[in-house]
Structure 1
Amino acid sequence: MNALILAAHDGQQLDASTACVVTAARSLAAGGQVHILVVGHGVAAVADQAATLAGVSAVLTADAPAFAALNAETLSRQVAALAAPYAWILATHNLQARAALPRAAALAGAAYLSDVTRTSPDALERPAYAGAVVTRVQPIATSTFLTVRASAFQAAPTAATAAPVQDVPPVEADVRTSILGREGSTSTRPDLGRARIVVAGGRGVGSAENMAKVEHLADHLGAAVGASRAAVDAGFASNSVQIGQTGKVVAPDLYVALGISGAIQHLAGIKDAKCIVAINRDPDAPIFQIADYGIVGDLFDALPSLESGLPAAAA
Structure 2
Amino acid sequence: MSKFKHFLGIDVSKEYFDVVLIMNGEKEKPIHNQFVNDSKGVKALNQWLKKQRATNLETLVCLEHTGMYGKLIIKYLMLFNYSLWVEMSLKIIRSMGLQRGKNDKIDAERIAIYAMKNLQDAVIYKAPSKTIEKIRSLMSLREKLILTKSTLMRNSKEIKSLDPELSKLSEKFQKKTLKGITSDLKEIEKQLDVFIKGDENLNKIYSLAISVPGVGKVTTLYLICFTNEFKAYSSPRQLACYAGVVPFEYTSGKSIRSKPRVHHMANKKLKKHLHMCALSAVNHDPEMKEYFKRKVAEGKNKMLVINNIRNKLVHRICACVRDNKTFEVRKAA
- Asked if these proteins are the same fold (TM beyond 0.5), I'd say no
Query: Per residue, is there more strand in 1 or in 2?
Result: 1
